[in-house]
Structure 1
Amino acid sequence: MSKSRASEPRGPSQRQLRVGELIRRSLSELLTRGDLHEPDLAAVSITVGEVRVTPDLKRATCFVLPLGGGDEQGVLDALRRAKPEIRHQLARSMKLKHAPDLKFEIDRSFDRMDETRRLLSDERVRRDVAAVEARRESGDGDEDDA
């Protein structure tokens, strides 16, 4: 018999992805319009990179980053203070039965991308990748070497 799929780790469901994207777009629009009564958010542009929603859709983690890498902690504090108002406005703009509880975190994906680019541009890594590709082309390498 085949191994049970229930024990395998799964990614988010289509519903989680759709709701996360809906929240991301709505939150981006809300922050762009500047309709919040939090003065510390009025003068800063914030990028909402991703929103991850729990399977029960009750909690959403919003990954944000102030443009230009400004005062990250100050932006997080301001978003946390404005959370009730943000949640209320999101609930009005989206057609969801319940507005999820929001959690804000700094989006580090840009930092990880920069670090990956730096590593891939390293001469030793480029030399190793070229050697693996040369072995594959000559038929000497194993397909799973990468």
Structure 2
Amino acid sequence: MAKNRLNDHAGPSQRQLRVGELIRRTLSDVLGRGDIHDPELNRMSVTVGEVRVSPDLKIATAYVLPLGGKGADLLIDLLARNKSELRRAVSKQLTLKFAPDLRFRLDETFDRLDDTRRLFSQDNVRRDLDD
């Protein structure tokens, strides 16, 4: 019992990381090839940056971004609309007992990187780092 409480605050397990990466690759391949029967979605270039999987492997949250960053809200709507077809494509590639429920979120990693670079370029921060 105590071991379980300790693991609640730990990062994702190796299995979660492995399954998340397999889902990320599969989604990237499917979206890149245009295997989905939605012409609107097939016209968009999508970057799947990361997939985080719940501990029970039943929920997978994919962090996506359209090429160029334009049309992000439309992309999330299109992916949600085609979620069942994407889930079916993922389940064909994985050998899990259950196909995970897919959720799509906007990947804000690049925005945070830009904010960090901007902060480091400020004079007072550079002065503190140089000391």
1:142 corresponds to which residue?
none
Between Structure 1 and Structure 2, how many residues are aligned? 127
1:28 corresponds to which residue?
28
2:110 corresponds to which residue?
110
Specify whether residues 81 and 15 from structure 1 end up closer, same or farther in structure 2 by C-alpha distance, changes over 3 A only: same
Specify whether residues 8 and 20 from structure 1 end up closer, same or farther in structure 2 by C-alpha distance, changes over 3 A only: closer
Give me the whole-angstrom Cα distance separating, in 1, the residues matched to 2:36 and 2:89: 9
1:136 corresponds to which residue?
none
2:93 corresponds to which residue?
93
2:67 corresponds to which residue?
67
- Give 1:7 shift: 7.7
Report the AA paired with residue 74 of structure 1.
Answer: L
TM-score with structure 2 length normalisation?
A: 0.92
Stretches of 4+ moved more than 4 A in 1? none
Equivalent residues in 2 for 1:41-56, closer than 5 Å:
41-56=41-56
Verify the 8 A CA contact 1:19 1:53 in the aligned structure 2.
yes
Q: Which runs of 5+ in 2 are unaligned?
A: none
**Could you report, residue by residue, the CA deviation over 1:85-125 in whole angstroms, capped at 9, with x for unpaired residues?**
00001111222221100000000011000110111111110
1:81 corresponds to which residue?
81
Give me the whole-angstrom Cα distance separating, in 1, the residues matched to 2:111 and 2:49: 13
The structure that has the greater radius of gyration is 1
Report the AA paired with residue 79 of structure 2.
Answer: L
- Give 1:130 shift: 1.3
Verify the 8 A CA contact 1:27 1:48 in the aligned structure 2.
yes
Q: Which runs of 5+ in 1 are unaligned?
A: 132-146
What SS is found at the alignment partner of 1:30? Answer: helix
Aligned-CA RMSD value: 1.3
TM-score with structure 1 length normalisation?
A: 0.83
- Give 1:12 shift: 0.5
What SS is found at the alignment partner of 1:97? Answer: coil
What SS is found at the alignment partner of 1:64? Answer: strand
Give me the whole-angstrom Cα distance separating, in 2, the residues matched to 1:128 and 1:108: 27
1:14 corresponds to which residue?
14
